[in-house]
Amino acid sequence: MMSNLRSALLSAIDKDRDKLIGFLSDFIKIPTPNPSGDTRQACRFVSEFLTSEGIDHEKLLCHPEQPNIAASFEAPQAGRHLTLNGHMDVFPVDDEASWTHGPWSGAVVDGYIWGRGAVDMKAGTTASIFTYLYLHRHHEKLNGRLTLTIVSDEETLGSNGTRFLLEQYPHLRGDCCLNGEPSGPRTVRFGEKGLLWLEIRVRTSGGHGAYPHLSSSATKIASRVIQDLEQLSEISAVVPDEHRDVLQPAYDHADEVLGKGASAVAQKVIVNIGQIEGGVKINVLPASCTMQVDIRVPVGLSIDTVKNAVTALLAKYPEVEIVELNRSEPNFCPPEHDLSRIMLTNARAIKGHDVDPIIGLGATDTRIWRELGIPAYVYGPSPKTMGARDERIEIEEFIDVVKVHCLSAYDYLAGSN
């Protein structure tokens, strides 16, 4: 009976192959770059699709241009509560003309679906929507509750999206979260590095470029600051023994699945100077330089420890002001949790290769569940072209992600597998 339903779910996905491809392609055609993060049109698209499939849902807004969608159904038998989560906003595009197929083309060419958001994360969000749709059809055979959350504002850390939903509507949290952010087909993510976003401002009196004896240069000080921040990578993470047993295998897999060097990156503080702006003219000594600094922090270090280290490193520059923009502690949940085990089993069966639990290098909205003490797991497409020119997802990989999500949600709610 249960295995019949599992194979019915797989056949439905195979039968809907063109529908799934068409949905994702159309979803990509609706530009949702963040900034500005305006997702109204994409939200309308998802909402109309759910309505056409007879799915009750509601729009929940914190910001008028960044709506969120929530739906939830209860099965006849009591049981667990799984929440599916995906976002509609995507990275911005700054080199539109150089794309092989336009970033908002949704082109279906050469076995791929092309466009900004194909990987991060409209494919995973599509997997959540269709998983909800398929299980809704069979809700009378399930246990517990399934909730769908399709959000905005993820790329700017979710205060109008997931955080708003989980704080204002706690009944949407579930007891576990399944998310389709890019993870790569070989990994299920059970945690991720933390982040500290800073704006570092350098101010001097400035002056004529030929008179350096009268003022220091804000851009030159900034270049020294950038060099000094590299020392943050020398701070050692202190991981308790019981956590090390869980984390070490995940780190061991990182080089293999995320590229050589990933394992070291996963365990170190890393610094990205994402934006820098300073000076007004070639012969004017810059009075101001402002940097947007993204610091990623491994499990075993707190954000405060790293922030204090930044303050200490830069204390020698009276011209420098540090403004904190955002922070999120490194986080993970048990890799041996039932949902994680189910996802690993399904991904291995669908892909026919090893799939391992891992700590992600980037941040996703799943951290907001983990902050609340609710386990959250990620399985999604290969991150290789994420946020890059020619972002695209292989069609087979996309269909497999839908299958892994759908079977995993089913197994979790059926309590089987």
Positions in the binding site for Zn ion (CB under 5 A)? 120-121, 181
Tokens of 38: 């305006």
When the beta carbons of 285 and 376 are compared against Zn ion, the nearer one is: 376
| DSSP-derived 3-state class of residue 257 | helix
Smallest distance from Zn ion to CB 235, Å:
27
Which residue in the block uniquely carries the two structure tokens 């197929």? Answer: 101
In the residue annotation, 89 being an active-site residue is answered as: yes
Selected catalytic residue, list 154, 181, 356, 411? 154
Contacts of 298 (CB under 8 A, 6+ apart): 193, 194, 237, 266, 267, 268, 269, 330
When the beta carbons of 38 and 120 are compared against Zn ion, the nearer one is: 120
When the beta carbons of 153 and 411 are compared against Zn ion, the nearer one is: 153
Smallest distance from Zn ion to CB 2, Å:
32
Helices (H) and strands (E) in the chain, counts: 12, 18
When the beta carbons of 181 and 394 are compared against Zn ion, the nearer one is: 181
Selected catalytic residue, list 89, 319, 394, 397? 89
Smallest distance from Zn ion to CB 225, Å:
30
Q: Write the DSSP string, 4-66.
A: HHHHHHHHHHHHTHHHHHHHHHHHHHS--BTTT---HHHHHHHHHHHHHTT---EEE-SSTTS
In the residue annotation, 154 being an active-site residue is answered as: yes
Rounded Cα–Cα distance for residues 174 and 334 (Å): 16
Give the amino acid at 104.
W
Contacts of 380 (CB under 8 A, 6+ apart): 119, 121, 123, 124, 127, 179, 180, 181, 182, 183, 184, 401
Smallest distance from Zn ion to CB 414, Å:
28
In 10 A of CB 375, how many CB atoms?
21
Smallest distance from Zn ion to CB 156, Å:
11
Rounded Cα–Cα distance for residues 403 and 6 (Å): 10
When the beta carbons of 144 and 161 are compared against Zn ion, the nearer one is: 161
Give the amino acid at 7.
S
Q: In what order do the strands lie in the sheet with 320-328?
A: 270-278, 288-297, 194-203, 320-328
When the beta carbons of 33 and 278 are compared against Zn ion, the nearer one is: 33
Contacts of 88 (CB under 8 A, 6+ apart): 32, 39, 42, 43, 46, 122, 125, 150, 151, 152
When the beta carbons of 91 and 412 are compared against Zn ion, the nearer one is: 91
Smallest distance from Zn ion to CB 361, Å:
13
Smallest distance from Zn ion to CB 181, Å:
5
Q: Where are the alpha helices (DSSP H) in 36-183?
A: 40-52, 123-137, 162-168
Pairing of strands 356-360, 187-192: parallel
List residues with catalytic annotation.
Answer: 89, 154
